[in-house]
Amino acid sequence: MAVKWAGAPSTTTIMTTQLDGLANNTISGASSVVANDTDLNTYAWLELNVTFGSAPSDANPSVDVYMQKSLDGTNYEDAPLTGGAQQGHMFVGAFPIKKVTTAQRIQIGPIPLPPEKVQFYLDNQTGQSMAASGNTLVIGFQNLTNV
């Protein structure tokens, strides 16, 4: 049996002010809750829209993504530690960042989603702080269908 994507992803913004002025080597606050315990989406794509006042200066600048899960729908696993700590099992990907001050729009995915509530955290590993406003993280959901 063959499968295909079940139409275009539906999207929603899950982070805004958590990214305002996010300092280098710092982890953001948690995103909005993604209630995949009821939605049961198979995959997600994440899109980071970000600007820097000063061009990123790390050798390989990135904004790393971590997913925190809640098996019972109420209690979440421990939040990520300080920036740059490499939270092993929670790491889901990294947005490669250009060394520019113009707006950047970067996507990663597909990311497999578990059938439980999740939240995302971003770890700024760019060498510079994010702009004071206007940065967002958008999630797009997608499922597969039989053909």
Q: pTM for the full model?
A: 0.91
Question: In the chain, how many domains are there?
Answer: 1
Phi, psi of 120, rounded to the nearest 5 degrees: -115, 150
Residue 118 is assigned to a structural domain of this protein? yes
Residue 85 is assigned to a structural domain of this protein? no
pLDDT surpasses 90 at 125 = yes
In the prediction, which pLDDT does 7 show? 72
Considering only CA atoms, which of 71, 84, 145 is closest in space to residue 115? 71
Residue 126 is assigned to a structural domain of this protein? yes
- ∠ CA 122-138-30 to the nearest 5 degrees? 40
Q: Residue 91 half-sphere exposure, CB side, CA atoms within 13 Å? A: 13
Residue 3 is assigned to a structural domain of this protein? no
Residue 66 is assigned to a structural domain of this protein? yes
Residue 8 is assigned to a structural domain of this protein? no
Give the mean model confidence (pLDDT) for residues 112-133: 95
Number of neighbouring beta carbons within 10 Å of residue 74? 7
- 3-class state of residue 123 by DSSP: strand
Residue 46 is assigned to a structural domain of this protein? yes
Give the mean model confidence (pLDDT) for residues 72-99: 82
In the prediction, which pLDDT does 38 show? 87
Q: For residue 132, give its domain range.
A: 14-80+91-146
CATH number at residue 32: 2.60.120
pLDDT surpasses 80 at 36 = yes
In the prediction, which pLDDT does 85 show? 63
